[in-house]
A and B are shown apart, each in its own frame.
Chain A
Amino acid sequence: DQQVKQNSPSLSVQEGRISILNCDYTNSMFDYFLWYKKYPAEGPTFLISISSIKDKNEDGRFTVFLNKSAKHLSLHIVPSQPGDSAVYFCAASADTGRRALTFGSGTRLQVQP
């Protein structure tokens, strides 16, 4: 069951540059999308979300873009910082976020100083 896919298991960027993490989904019922960050030995920490009625949401250094026709979303981190090094999970939900979250497999981001 691959309803939410993160095809890049890892990404390495230089400090100060842009990090772009990608996510694809297949379930047309999904209407709410989230990004979580996870450090080792901790639970996922909410970063940013977007509803399907929008195509962009921005919060500080983090921007999420949603392309509904392509069933694709991306997370941009600008500028990237070493403290951003973590595993990033894309998650999706139906019924305006009231249904269970379906997670992607995660992308490990490493920001090089």
Chain B
Amino acid sequence: NAGVTQTPKFRVLKTGQSMTLLCAQDMNHEYMYWYRQDPGMGLRLIHYSVGEGTTAKGEVPDGYNVSRLKKQNFLLGLESAAPSQTSVYFCASRTGSGELFFGEGSRLTVL
């Protein structure tokens, strides 16, 4: 049982490049989330989804897009990367009782 899997784990981009982070969960959870974690700050919600085909904005959505075409996958896209998007990104899925299961994180550096 893999839980929540994120790919890639590390990526370096140049300013203006685009990329997609993939999150896959095998627990049949409806809710999925993308967070970013920066030093000295708590996890901040970028976008979330309450089910297949749905997405919604979180606390810091600017510069990111998401898609949930399949229940098990939640994709986070950066269309034109900026240095301010250098961060560690965490995907999570949530049980009915509200427990979050996190992936291992994707470390992104934008030069």
Tell me whether A and B are bound partners.
Answer: no
Which residues of A pack against B, CB within 8 Å?
none
Which residues of B pack against A, CB within 8 Å?
none
